[in-house]
């Protein structure tokens, strides 16, 4: 597969899962655009690391994906900078507790803004480039889209909406553009959160996953699964098969 000259955008790509995905795609020869909102230092450090491996192969783009105008501006910057886009990984996410009794309309708008509106309109803004390149979109959802987590109703519902969007976009954008998703289980916990033994006990493989394992799934969907669209690849160590 000829990947030289192809370009991938990873939203939320400066650290954690996003950084692992950026490194994985870069290791296969793609130029990577690393989006960040606040993590400027991490984004620049990662870009420097990747450019040290291969010159002029990584670039940073800042945008707050909750702000509609900045979504469109990010798309414009990408197409103007590269003239093409082959892979879009919608990874940017926020994991917030939203118990129904204490949830505000602002929280509602933010969860759906980040997880649904931003991916939709980012795809819209770069669609001509994706179509021209016969590109692909990979949305990072969550197993909680199907198996909700108590007190996180807005997070779960918005990720479920992203899964539905994956299918509808795949149908609408075929045959030029493939659209798929990866749904991680226990891969990487938020800072300060302790991995519960109960979670591991319900995971057939008996451990949490790694960011590299999820990045490998994104790479497969983006670069190798060329006859696959509208699908979600679950990366959870088998946890969902233990759910009643």
Is it the case that residue 123 has pLDDT exceeding 60? yes
Q: What integer pLDDT is reported at residue 178 of this predicted model? A: 98
Q: What integer pLDDT is reported at residue 188 of this predicted model? A: 66
pTM beyond cutoff 0.75: yes
Catalytic residue among 147, 152, 155, 220: 155
Residue 54 covered by a domain: yes
Tell me, letter by letter, the H, E, C secondary structure of 174-223. Answer: CCCCEEEEEEECCCCCCCCCCCCHHHHHCCCCCCCCCHHHHHHHHHHHHH
Residue 67 covered by a domain: yes
Residue 1 covered by a domain: no
Q: What integer pLDDT is reported at residue 3 of this predicted model? A: 64
Residue 98 covered by a domain: yes
Q: How far out from the chain centre does Cα 28 lie?
A: 18
Is it the case that residue 216 has pLDDT exceeding 70? yes
Residue 108 covered by a domain: yes
CATH number at residue 237: 3.40.50.720
* Residue 210, domain extent: 7-242
| Share of residues in the chain with pLDDT > 70 (%) | 94
Q: Domain tally for the chain?
A: 1
220 is catalytic: no
- Write down the H helix ranges in 38-185: 40-53, 68-82, 105-112, 118-132, 153-173
Report the C-alpha gap between 100 and 142 in whole angstroms. Answer: 20
Is it the case that residue 191 has pLDDT exceeding 60? no
Q: Using one digit for the tens of pLDDT, what is the confidence trace for 37-51?
A: 999 999 999 999 999
Q: What integer pLDDT is reported at residue 192 of this predicted model? A: 42
Average of per-residue pLDDT across 54-75 = 97
């Amino acid at each position: 597969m000829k990947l030289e000259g192809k370009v991938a955008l990873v939203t939320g790509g400066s650290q954690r899962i996003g950084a692992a995905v950026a490194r994985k795609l870069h290791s296969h020869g793609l130029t990577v655009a690393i989006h960040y909102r606040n993590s400027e230092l991490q984004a620049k450090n990662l870009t420097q690391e990747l450019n040290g491996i291969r010159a002029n192969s990584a670039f940073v783009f800042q945008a707050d994906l909750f702000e509609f105008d900045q979504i469109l501006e990010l798309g414009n910057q990408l197409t103007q900078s590269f003239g093409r886009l082959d892979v879009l990984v919608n990874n940017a996410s926020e994991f917030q507790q939203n118990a129904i009794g204490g949830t505000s309309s602002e929280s509602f708008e933010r969860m759906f803004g980040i997880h649904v509106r931003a991916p939709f309109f980012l795809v819209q803004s770069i669609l001509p480039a994706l179509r021209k390149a016969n590109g692909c979109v990979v949305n990072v959802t969550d197993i909680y889209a199907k198996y909700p987590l108590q007190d996180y109703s807005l997070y779960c519902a918005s990720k479920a909406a992203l899964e539905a969007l994956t299918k509808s976009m795949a149908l609408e954008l075929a045959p030029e553009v493939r659209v798929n998703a990866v749904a991680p289980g226990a891969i990487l916990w938020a800072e300060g959160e302790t991995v519960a033994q109960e979670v591991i006990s319900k995971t057939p493989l008996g451990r949490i996953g790694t960011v590299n394992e999820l990045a490998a799934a994104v790479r497969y969907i983006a670069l190798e699964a060329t006859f696959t669209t509208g699908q979600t690849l679950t990366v959870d160590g088998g946890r969902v098969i233990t759910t009643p």
